[in-house]
Amino acid sequence: MQLNDSTIRKLLTQDFTNTMIRIGLIVFLVVMCARVFSPLFKSGGVGPDSGHRSLSLAPVFG
């Protein structure tokens, strides 16, 4: 297979596009995870002393 300028440009453009999509998805996932878990970090976590209600199955099976 002989590589000419148009073939090289096409391959580089596809690789660059795929890389940018992957970086964008990773950044999106990091931001969404930070938004989901930020209330836990701000309030000091989940536990009996943190002010959060703990999960209890007593009303379901009690």
Q: pLDDT (tens digit, 9 = 90+) per residue, 12-33?
A: 888 899 999 999 999 999 999 9
Q: Output the DSSP codes for 28-52.
A: HHHHHHHHHHHHHHHHT-SSTTTTP
Any domain includes 47: no
Any domain includes 42: no
Cα pseudo-dihedral 57, 59, 60, 62, rounded to 10: 90
Query: Domain range spanning residue 22?
Result: 1-37
Any domain includes 44: no
Any domain includes 20: yes
- pTM for this one? 0.55
At position 32, the amino acid (one-letter code) is: M
Any domain includes 49: no
Q: What are phi and psi of 50, to 5 degrees?
A: -90, -5
Q: Which is more confident, 26 or 45?
A: 26
